Structure 1
Amino acid sequence: MTELDLGRALRLATYAMQLALGAITAYAVFQASAGMVVNAGLPFLIALFPLYVRYRYDNQLSPVLSLWIVTAAFLHAVGMLGLYRTYGWYDQIAHGVSGAVVAGVGYALVRVIENEYESVEIPPNLRFVFIVVFAGALGVIWEVAEFTLSELAVIFGGKPLLAQFGLGDVVLDMLFSIAGAVLVAIWGTRYFDGLRSVVDRHVDGTGERAADRDDSADRPAD
C-alpha cells in the first residue's frame, strides 16, 4: 500500500466514525435523553474539528492526526452505549487515547508560545513536563466535573449527565490519561505539528480562508 492509499484509507475511517457519531447523536436526541445527548453530542462536536479546520483555515490536518482526534471522540461516545459497564478496561483505553490527544494540544500551545515570544525558550525536558502536566490537569478537571454531576444527580434525583464509576475508576482513568500523555511527549509530538500550525495562524490573525483573502483582494476600496 502506497502512502497515498494509506492516507485515503485513514481519511475514510475518519469519515465513517464522524458519520457514526452523527447517527449516535441523532439517536440520543430522538430518545430525549439529556445524558445521552451530552455524552454523544460533545464527542460529535470534537470529531468535527478536522472538518472545521479545513473549512475555516483552508488547512487539512494530516490523516493520522484527524483519525486520532476522531477516534478519541468515538471511543467515548460508543462507551456510553454500554461498553463502559460491560468491559471494565474500555473506559481506561478511551481515557488513554484522549489523554494523548490533550497532550498533543498542550504541545501545540507551548510551541506557539515559543514562536510568538522570542524571549521564551523552553528546554525539551521542561516542555515534556508541561505537556504531561497539561494533560493531567485537564484530566483532573474532567474527573471533578463527572464527580460533581454524579453527586448533584444523587441530591436532586435523576441520572448523571456524565458517567462516573467510583474513586477506583477515577484513579485508573487518570493513570491511563497520563500514560497516553507521556507516550505523546516522548514519541508523538511530530503528529501534532499540523495543529500547532493552525493555532499559530489563529494567534497571528492570519487564519482566514484563502478564498476569503482572494475575495477581499478583488473588492474595490471604499
Structure 2
Amino acid sequence: MRVRDYLGISGRNQRYLARGMQLTLFGLLFVALERQSPNLLVTTGTGLAATFLPGLLERDLGLPMDAGLTLWITTAAFLHTVGVAGIPGTGSSLYADVPYYDHMTHALSASVVTGVGYATVRALDEHSEGIHLPRRFMFAFLVVFILAFGVIWELVEFSIAVLSSAAGLTSTGFTQHGLDDTLLDLVFNAIGGVVVALWGTVYLTGISEVLRERLDARSRD
C-alpha cells in the first residue's frame, strides 16, 4: 500500500501540493531580492529549479514520475529552501530556530538520493546476468551507500561553511554545529536510506524497469 492510499490523498491533491510549494518558492525569490541576499537568491533559485526536475525526467527521458514521486522530490527541495529563508518578516531561520529541522531535511534528502541509487542498482541487477543482488544485500548496500554519501556531503558542507565564513557571507544553508550534530545528521541520513530500502519497490519499480529497458536496448545496439 502506498502512503497516499493510507492517508487518503489523491494524486490530484498531491499535484496541487507540489504546485503550491513551487509557487511559494517563486515568491521567496522576491524575498531574496528584497533582502538583497545573493546567497538566498541562489539557494531559492536552486530549490525552485529542483522542483521542475520530475517533469523534465518524465518528458525528456520518459521516466514514469507519478504524483507521489513528484511531491517527494518537491518537498525535499521546498523544506531545505524554506529552512534557509525562514518566515519572511521574522528574520529567523528554521534551521537555527526549529529543533531537529536540519535532521528532518537530511532524512528526506537522503531518501531521495537513496531512491536514485536504488532505481539505478536494481536496473543494473535486472539487466546484467552477471549481477545478482539478493534483497538483504540490496538493503545493506543502500544503507552503506547513503552513509558514504552523507559523509561526503558533510565534508562539502564543512568546506562551504569555512569558505563562506572567511568571505564574510551568511545564509548559505550549510552551517556546521559541531561533531555531535554531524553524527546525528548521519543517523537521520541512515533512517532515510532504510525507509527507501524497505519500501522502495512500491514507488521505484517503474523507473527501474524503464532504465533496464534502456540498458537492454543499448546492449543490442
Give unpaired runs (5+ residues) of structure 1. 207-222
- The match for 1:214 is none
Structure 1 segment 136-151 matched on structure 2, within 5 A: 136-151=147-162
- What's the C-alpha RMSD, in Å, of the aligned pairs? 2.6
Given that residues 161 and 176 in structure 2 are in contact (C-alpha distance below 8 angstroms), is that contact kept between their aligned partners in structure 1? no
1:77 counterpart = 2:81: yes
Deviation at 1:57, TM superposition (A): 3.1
- The match for 2:43 is 39
Tell me the TM-score normalized by structure 1: 0.81
Q: Deviations over 1:135-162 (max 9, x none)?
A: 2222222211111011112334333633
> Alpha carbons of 1:53 and 1:153: their partners in 2 closer, same or farther (altered >3 Å)?
closer
How far apart, in 1, do the equivalents of 2:18 and 2:31 lie? Answer: 20
1:186 counterpart = 2:207: no
> Residue 187 of structure 1 aligns to a residue in which SS?
helix
Deviation at 1:15, TM superposition (A): 1.5
How far apart, in 2, do the equivalents of 1:96 and 1:80 lie? Answer: 16
> Alpha carbons of 1:5 and 1:48: their partners in 2 closer, same or farther (altered >3 Å)?
same
Tell me the TM-score normalized by structure 2: 0.81
1:92 counterpart = 2:106: no
How far apart, in 2, do the equivalents of 1:34 and 1:200 lie? Answer: 41
- The match for 1:110 is 121
- The match for 2:90 is none
Q: Report how many aligned residue pairs link the two structures.
A: 205
Letter aligned with residue 41 of structure 2: V
Identity %: 35
Deviation at 1:24, TM superposition (A): 2.2
Choose from 132, 140, 144 the match for 1:133: 144
1:66 counterpart = 2:66: no
> Alpha carbons of 1:182 and 1:152: their partners in 2 closer, same or farther (altered >3 Å)?
same
Structure 1 segment 205-216 matched on structure 2, within 5 A: none
Deviation at 1:86, TM superposition (A): 1.3
How far apart, in 2, do the equivalents of 1:26 and 1:54 lie? Answer: 29
Deviation at 1:170, TM superposition (A): 1.6
Deviation at 1:109, TM superposition (A): 1.1
> Alpha carbons of 1:148 and 1:193: their partners in 2 closer, same or farther (altered >3 Å)?
same
Deviation at 1:196, TM superposition (A): 2.3
- The match for 1:213 is none
Deviation at 1:29, TM superposition (A): 5.0
Give unpaired runs (5+ residues) of structure 2. 86-92
How far apart, in 2, do the equivalents of 1:26 and 1:195 lie? Answer: 35
1:12 counterpart = 2:16: yes
Q: Deviations over 1:5-43 (max 9, x none)?
A: 711111111121122223324543564423213322222
Given that residues 35 and 161 in structure 1 are in contact (C-alpha distance below 8 angstroms), is that contact kept between their aligned partners in structure 2? yes
> Residue 121 of structure 2 aligns to a residue in which SS?
helix
Given that residues 150 and 160 in structure 1 are in contact (C-alpha distance below 8 angstroms), is that contact kept between their aligned partners in structure 2? no
> Alpha carbons of 1:57 and 1:137: their partners in 2 closer, same or farther (altered >3 Å)?
same
